[in-house]
Amino acid sequence: TTFLDYLVPTAAEVPTIEYGHVETPAATPGGHKGMGEGGAIGSVPAVFNAVADALAPLGGRVNRLPLGPSEILAALHPTP
């Protein structure tokens, strides 16, 4: 069988979704909780790995942050 044998589910096949709200107290004095988008955290490792991959054929290695131009040049010309 292949994926062509399967039909795309429609709204008729979706099961009933049960949902609820659970209130949890916050430990802060004002009762506030943090909220935000955590997806931006992946950009730093992605850039770091891209630089590491680019330097690998040239014999350069990077292994710490922050990673700026001076660190990249130092990785290309390591001191003994």
Q: What is the per-residue pLDDT across 27-54, written as a single tens digit (0 to 9) for each?
A: 888 888 777 666 667 888 999 999 999 9
Residue 42, CA distances (Å) to 5, 47, 52, 56, 58 in order: 36, 9, 16, 21, 25
Per-residue DSSP letter, 39:
G
Token output for 6: 């399967």
Any idea which residue has 């292994």 for tokens? 63
Q: What is the pLDDT, as a whole number, of residue 22?
A: 85
Any idea which residue has 């710490």 for tokens? 64
Q: What is the pLDDT, as a whole number, of residue 58?
A: 92
